[in-house]
Structure formats: structure tokens, C-alpha cells
Amino acid sequence: MTNNIKLQEVCKQLHIPVVGTTSWPLPPEAREILREANPCPFTAADLETRLTGTPDFMPRSAIVCLFPYHVPYDGPKNLSRYTWANDYHLVVTNYLQNLIDELMNINSNALFSIHCDTSPLADRYMAYLAGLGFYGKNKCFINPIWGSYIVIGTVLTTLEFEPNSPLTNTCMGCNRCISSCLGQCLNTDEFKYSTCKSYLTQKKGDLTDEEQSIIKKSPLLFGCDVCQEVCPHNKDIPITPIAEFQSIEPYVDINELESLTNKEFKAKYGHRAFSWRGKKIILRNHEYITKS
């Protein structure tokens, strides 16, 4: 079994601030925990895929890493915090590849696969099993030090690590996220994604009057941070230690955006996490927000 202390040392050298491990495949009870009657379209609908992933090998362990992105800022903004810096998909993948390169020095025969958000894996549940935090009532994953402003990256591997145990910490249950939610999508046990502003700002096509009214409730053109901004677990958290997340651009100029061709938009913003939807959706959201 590979030494967990060695893994911690390697992650420290690579400036990965939080790491834990859990066994793979996931435990049998994961099937019931992850089952959703009406899953968000941005989540893999196939439960079996979320439980098993799509690697072409048989992993023994999952290495789960957290990448904080919080930077204190009170100026003008029209983008959600997670899009303020370089696209986290690119940043996290680079860190995890560096981790794999180091682990290959321990065992050159080991196999690995990288997963970050766009994969079907149940990343929050895996982070919970790896002892890295707990669930908030806003459905966010919360780390005791870094709060919910974190991105989860996972490496499945044939290396076998001693699995960590889940934390006993829990959400303090203040219900501020529930009462503050712009679309009141947290009022039931099951997350009502269809009225979540973050989802609506990414949904394609023309929106209904009700959906438009939700988008109008805050100036963000992409995403929504309200349930995280009011969360006590995010109070006085440290600035991100991830260098790539420290240089931020919280605001996109709509006038400039309108003048860009799609090719120019991709060239200018292709390294940002909001760019995947293209400029058309962002301009549509601006129209809804400014419409009288």
C-alpha cells in the first residue's frame, strides 16, 4: 500500500493545499445517496457512470484534491467568482498531471486518470469520503478551512492508499442560503435546479418570464454566488494559495463583448470558465437584467 504521508509531502511540494484518499470503487450505499429523481442536465444522468467512471483500467484508489479560489474583492462584478481567473478545468488538470508525474516516480507501472468537474464522477461525495469536508444546505461542498469556494479534482489510480474517514463536521444549519436563494431552489430536500440562477444563466435558448425574473434579481451575467456569499462557513476564509487563481477579472465589458466576433471572443476569453457557452448567452442575460 502506498504511503499516504508521502502523498501529502508530494502535494505540499506541488502547492496542492488539500488532499485525501478514498477506496475505489465507491461503497454500495453510494448508489442510494447519489440517486436523483430529477438530476440537473449538467450532471451525468447515468448513475452507473457516476459510480464507476470511464477509465480503461481497474482503479484501486481515488486521490481527491481541493483547489481554493477565494480572493477578497468588493469592487464591481458581473461574473461568478469561479470564473474570475484562469479556467479551473485547465488549472486543476495541470496540477493533477504534475501530481501523476511525481507518483510515477514511486511506481512507474501505476495507471492514472484525471477528473475535474466535466467528468461524470460524484466529486463532492468522493471528497466527503476522503475526509475533506461536508455538505452545506446550499448543496455546496464545504471545507473547514477554505469554505465552499473550492474546486474538486480527482485522480483514479491503480495505486492503493489507505482510505481517509469522513469528517464529523456538519453545516451549522443557519438556513441563510435557503432564505437568500434568488430562485428559492433550496426549499426542498431535493435541489430544484430549474430555478437556480446559476443554471439559468447557462441554459440555452429563450427563457420564460419567470426565469428572466430570477436572472434580473442580481447583476451577475454568468453564475450566482448568493448562497455562498451569505454562508457563515465562508466568513474570514484565507486567500487562495493557488497562484493561477490570484489574478482576477470579475467584470466583463458588455460593450466590448458586443463588438467581438465569435473567433475574437474565443481568442480573448477562451481561457475563462464562462467562455464555453459563448458570448450569445452572456449578451442574452445582460438583455434580461437591463430590460425594464
Element (H, E) at 67: strand 61-68
Catalytic position from the list 56, 74, 117, 189:
117
Does the annotation mark 206 as catalytic?
no
Q: How far is CA 121 from the centre of its chain?
A: 12
Contact 64, 130 (CB under 8 A): yes
Contact 91, 242 (CB under 8 A): yes
DSSP secondary structure string for all residues of 161-186: BPPP-----------HHHHH-TT-TT
Give the number of other CB atoms < 10 A from CB of residue 280.
12
Contact 62, 130 (CB under 8 A): yes
The Cα 90–Cα 79 span in angstroms is 19
Q: Measured between alpha carbons, how far is residue 209 from residues 94, 126, 233, 281 in Å?
A: 41, 38, 34, 16
Give the number of other CB atoms < 10 A from CB of residue 242.
21
The Cα 27–Cα 29 span in angstroms is 6
Contact 260, 279 (CB under 8 A): yes
The Cα 137–Cα 130 span in angstroms is 20
Element (H, E) at 154: strand 150-157
Task: Give catalytic residue positions.
Answer: 117
